[in-house]
């Protein structure tokens, strides 16, 4: 497919070569389809153990009679490399070569689709996919057994898409390619010959897992043929641009008349409660025209009457920080750890007061925008029979295709889910923003209103001004040391808005506390608390979410304790840790950053360790500050333990990208709100790290026999504290508030 899309007779986006999306997703006409369960949901759902019945399937491996092997990919590819990782796992157990496998994106289907989030795309699907592929392999062997009548499994082998039988008496060889066995393998007779326990390949015999194989999504992304959401064009399509009330929580007072040059002006309601934005409130209008540029220009000049809420003054960054600091003292906390038998605060105060040394610090972090490179967009084609809506076809860069079906069903309740088709395109960045459904709902509303295919595009200013932001937080940490450097007491209190409460889930917010609980450091007494902060600003999932907030406070305080104890940061951490994984990680990071021991006097280093999504990452950063208000980051040494590595190149790329993402936010990232209005509207006021500012990054991946853990997000959390610790060492003053350089703009933009 190409970026310059036309359409086939059915209206499917096609490439210049004529390969339509409909043909791209066509099912194999005959052969073996192996269904299997892939756990959904990432961070919030645990892997289920359910029987592989068709009703519960949400992923499929297909083997055609022509020998073609296809993995239907039910997630999304947003640069994290999960397409490649899942393909490697499948090819490994199916005993086929890398070039024998084709991977295809799949339309939303309860049997196929899953949400991509929480660094779970590969980690939660590792064992289910291996088992499914191995089952397919054994069915093919069973088909060969049915052909020969020889049911001794030891006489058969599978390699490169071929089953071979060696006659135990004569040694003669007999071979069948997978395609010739596919139909027979799909029969009950073959299933009856399956072993009670499906054998998996021993790790020491892996051919593909652990190898740096070329990712299948890279060629189309580099030659221009990749289909992103913003590339979709359909016959008869019209184009829409959204215009929200500039003030969060504001609603539409009156739908304006359709101006000259526009096709329609459509009021849009919100699909869910988010902060001050009430569910089903009309908070935006869409301008529809015959091209996006015209729609944008008309929307810019459109005069809209808005009704502003009385709470506008409280939707304010400065006010929220003031309130959060008050709640540090007066708020009713929810105990996060320990869940029972929590130490009494009065006892903690006594222990802190009697410690050889005690420290206290208050850390603040701001709201952050997602700022994905591809702005939000969605294309929708409605179909009608006798003037009645009978179907919706949706193309979207989404992290959750099944959520798109549910959202569309809310807008068009007369349809059944089967009448709603969702095509997941490539994503130009997701970062958690494209799990949300606001832009999807708007596009469906517009298409239903105008009755024509429509592409909705958010302008960048709307993207920044109406994001679902990473929460701000104010965190107080109190800690004590004994005479030998042990931690006598640890009292951690986080005050922040709740992502999950804005989504209707009461109680302790796991997103707010991740990165602050189950710490590896031995503490004689500890208490971790969370205080919900009422906020009208919509908040959502941002790459590594709470871990990116709490690691800054935790690792900054650990560094402060190391200094107070007069210990090297590596040595101090190792003295508090008993987990062999952490100790091995620290030792490897110590070796990988040996350069820090011979730095010139005008440079400094800092380090931090964080665990998120089951993965451990240690980062060591070298900096200098040639001028006031600036810092140069020279290099970063990162060591990661993510269990079994599927594709080391993908791991390295994700850690590098996460470090750049985390450092950018720590240096300049901040979304400020004044009276309900976002102060940043584009990249000119939301600073990004340039290529010439990017440090040299080395990544060492630890060898592990454990199952794979998450990799897309874990590189972010250690970045901010490692940078802050280096900066504090260089400047001899502790950084407790991010970003380091607020208000920085990008010149030339």
Q: What is the 3-state secondary structure (H, E, C) of 432-447?
A: CHHHCCHHHHHHHHHH
Sign of the alpha-carbon torsion through 308, 313, 315, 316: positive
Could you identify the residue written with the tokens 């400020």? 672
Q: Cα–Cα distance between 480 and 524 in angstroms, integer? A: 10
Point out the residues of the chain with pLDDT beneath 50.
1-30, 33-59, 749
In this structure, the number of other CB atoms found within 10 A of the CB of residue 3 comes to: 14
Could you identify the residue written with the tokens 């000049």? 301
- Helix 545-565 and helix 569-576: axis angle, to 10°? 110
Q: Cα–Cα distance between 333 and 687 in angstroms, integer? A: 35
How far apart, in Å, are the Cα atoms of 219 and each of 2, 90, 214, 648? 12, 21, 9, 19
249-285 burial: b if 16+ Cβ within 10 Å, else e = bbbbeeebeeeeebbbbbbbbbbbbbbbbeeebbbbb
Q: Quick one: 655 exposed, middle or buried, by C-beta within 10 A (0-12, 13-18, 19+)? A: buried
- Vertex 79: Cα angle to 77 and 82 (nearest 5): 55
Classified as helix, coil or strand, 422 is strand
pLDDT at 60: 58
Chain-centre distance for alpha carbon 17 = 33
Residues sharing a CB contact under 8 Å with residue 171, sequence separation 6 or more, in sequence order: none
In this structure, the number of other CB atoms found within 10 A of the CB of residue 484 comes to: 8
Cis amide prior to 719 (ω within 30 degrees): no
pLDDT at 274: 84
Architecture (CATH level 2) of domain 229-308+376-457: 2-Layer Sandwich (3.30)
Residues sharing a CB contact under 8 Å with residue 385, sequence separation 6 or more, in sequence order: none
pLDDT at 314: 81
pLDDT at 56: 21
Could you give the residue range(s) of every CATH 3.30.365.10 domain in the chain?
1-225, 229-308+376-457, 317-369+469-731
Q: Which of 530, 478, 522, 531 is nearest to 347 (CA)?
A: 478
Q: Cα–Cα distance between 117 and 710 in angstroms, integer? A: 10
Going by the DSSP 8-state scheme, the letter that residue 279 receives in this structure is T
CATH of 1-225, one of 3.20.20.140, 3.90.480.20, 3.30.365.10, 3.30.70.120: 3.30.365.10
Nearest-Å Rg of the Cα atoms of the chain is: 28
CB 315 within 8 A of CB 249: yes
CB 81 within 8 A of CB 155: no
Going by the DSSP 8-state scheme, the letter that residue 683 receives in this structure is G
Chain-centre distance for alpha carbon 707 = 19
Tokens of 417: 């889910």
Going by the DSSP 8-state scheme, the letter that residue 551 receives in this structure is H
pLDDT digits (tens, 9 = 90+) for 263-315: 999 999 998 888 888 888 999 999 999 999 999 999 999 999 999 988 888 88
Sign of the alpha-carbon torsion through 447, 241, 366, 747: positive
Q: Please give the torsion angle defined by the CA atoms of residues 249, 375, 456 and 413, in that order, rounded to the nearest 10 degrees.
A: -60
pTM (2 decimals)? 0.90
Beta bridge partners, 368, equal: 470
Residues sharing a CB contact under 8 Å with residue 694, sequence separation 6 or more, in sequence order: 660
In this structure, the number of other CB atoms found within 10 A of the CB of residue 96 comes to: 25
DSSP 565-596: HT--HHHHHHHHB--HHHHHHHHHHHHHTGGG
Q: Cα–Cα distance between 674 and 318 in angstroms, integer? A: 8
Topology, domain 317-369+469-731: Aldehyde Oxidoreductase; domain 4 (3.30.365)
pLDDT at 84: 84
Q: Cα–Cα distance between 117 and 435 in angstroms, integer? A: 8
Tokens of 644: 């079994």
Going by the DSSP 8-state scheme, the letter that residue 501 receives in this structure is G
Q: Quick one: 691 exposed, middle or buried, by C-beta within 10 A (0-12, 13-18, 19+)? A: exposed
Tokens of 93: 């157990």
- Helix 438-450 and helix 401-411: axis angle, to 10°? 40
- Helix 126-148 and helix 178-185: axis angle, to 10°? 90
Q: Which of 691, 729, 463 is nearest to 596 (CA)?
A: 729
Q: Cα–Cα distance between 235 and 229 in angstroms, integer? A: 16
Q: Cα–Cα distance between 369 and 358 in angstroms, integer? A: 36
Q: Cα–Cα distance between 248 and 497 in angstroms, integer? A: 16
Classified as helix, coil or strand, 515 is coil
Rounded to a whole number, what is the largest CA-CA distance in the chain? 89
Residues sharing a CB contact under 8 Å with residue 215, sequence separation 6 or more, in sequence order: 81, 83, 84, 647, 649, 650
């Amino acid at each position: 497919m190409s970026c310059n899309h036309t359409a086939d007779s059915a209206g499917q986006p096609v490439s210049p070569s004529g390969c339509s999306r409909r043909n791209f997703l066509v099912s194999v006409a005959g052969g073996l389809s192996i269904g299997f369960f892939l756990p959904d949901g990432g961070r919030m759902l645990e892997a289920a153990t359910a029987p592989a019945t068709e009703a519960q399937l949400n992923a499929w491996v297909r083997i055609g009679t022509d020998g073609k092997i296809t993995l239907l990919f039910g997630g999304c590819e947003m640069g994290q490399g999960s397409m490649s990782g899942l393909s490697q796992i499948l090819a490994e157990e199916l005993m086929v070569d890398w070039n024998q496998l084709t991977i295809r994106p799949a339309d939303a289907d309860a049997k196929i689709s899953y949400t991509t989030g929480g660094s779970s795309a590969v980690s939660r699907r590792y064992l289910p996919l291996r088992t499914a592929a191995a089952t397919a392999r054994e069915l093919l062997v069973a088909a060969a057994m049915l052909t020969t009548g020889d049911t001794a499994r030891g006489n058969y082998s599978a390699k490169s898409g071929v089953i071979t039988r060696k006659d135990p008496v004569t040694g003669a060889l007999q071979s069948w390619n997978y395609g010739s066995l596919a139909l027979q393998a799909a029969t009950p007779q073959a299933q009856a010959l399956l072993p009670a326990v499906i054998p998996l390949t021993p790790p020491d015999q892996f051919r593909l897992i652990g190898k740096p194989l070329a990712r299948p999504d890279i060629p189309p992304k580099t030659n221009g043929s990749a289909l992103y959401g913003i590339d979709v064009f359909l016959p008869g399509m019209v184009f829409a641009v959204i215009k929200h009330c500039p003030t969060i929580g504001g609603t539409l007072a009156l739908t304006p008349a359709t101006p000259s040059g526009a096709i329609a002006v459509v009021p849009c309601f919100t699909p869910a409660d988010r902060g001050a934005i009430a569910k089903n409130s009309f908070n935006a209008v869409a301008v529809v025209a015959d091209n996006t540029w015209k729609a944008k220009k008309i929307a810019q000049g459109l005069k809209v009457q808005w009704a502003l809420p009385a709470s506008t003054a409280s939707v304010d960054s400065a006010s929220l920080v003031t309130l959060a600091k008050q709640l540090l003292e007066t708020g009713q906390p929810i105990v996060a750890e320990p869940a029972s038998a929590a130490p009494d605060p009065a006892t903690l105060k006594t222990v802190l007061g009697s410690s050889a040394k005690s420290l206290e610090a208050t850390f603040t972090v701001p709201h952050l925008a997602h700022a994905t490179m591809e702005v939000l967009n969605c294309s929708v084609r409605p179909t009608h029979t006798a003037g009645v809506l009978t179907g919706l076809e949706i193309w979207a860069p989404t992290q959750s295709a099944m959520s798109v079906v549910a959202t569309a069903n809310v807008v068009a309740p007369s349809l059944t889910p089967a009448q709603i088709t969702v095509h997941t395109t490539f994503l130009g960045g997701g970062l958690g923003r494209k799990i949300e459904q606001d832009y999807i709902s708007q596009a469906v509303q517009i298409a239903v209103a105008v009755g024509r295919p429509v592409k909705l595009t958010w302008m960048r200013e709307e993207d920044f001004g109406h994001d679902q932001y990473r929460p701000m937080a104010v965190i107080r940490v109190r800690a004590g040391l004994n005479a030998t450097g042990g931690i006598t007491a640890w009292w951690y209190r986080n005050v922040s808005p709740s992502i999950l409460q804005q989504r209707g889930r009461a109680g302790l917010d796991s997103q707010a506390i991740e990165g602050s609980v189950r710490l590896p450091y031995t503490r004689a007494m500890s208490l971790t608390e969370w205080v919900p902060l009422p906020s009208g600003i919509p908040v959502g999932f941002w790459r590594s979410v709470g871990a990116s907030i709490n690691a800054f406070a935790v690792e900054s305080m650990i560094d402060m304790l190391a200094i107070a104890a007069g210990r090297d940061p590596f040595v101090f951490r190792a003295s508090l840790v008993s987990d062999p994984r952490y100790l091995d990680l620290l030792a490897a990071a110590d070796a990988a950053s040996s350069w820090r021991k011979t730095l010139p006097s005008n440079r400094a280093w800092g380090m931090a360790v964080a665990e998120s999504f089951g993965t451990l990452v240690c980062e060591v950063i070298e900096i200098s500050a040639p001028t006031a208000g600036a810092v140069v980051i020279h290099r970063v040494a990162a060591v990661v333990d993510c269990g079994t590595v599927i594709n080391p190149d993908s791991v390295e790329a994700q850690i590098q990208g996460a470090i750049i993402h985390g450092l950018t936010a720590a240096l300049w990232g901040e979304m400020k709100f004044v009276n309900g209005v976002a102060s940043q509207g584009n990249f000119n006021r939301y600073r990004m790290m340039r290529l010439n500012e990017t440090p040299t990054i080395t990544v060492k991946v630890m060898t592990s026999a454990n199952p794979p853990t998450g990799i897309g997000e874990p590189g972010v959390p250690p970045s901010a504290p490692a940078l802050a610790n280096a900066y504090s060492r260089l400047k001899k003053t502790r950084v407790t508030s991010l970003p380091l350089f607020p208000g920085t703009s990008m010149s030339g933009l």
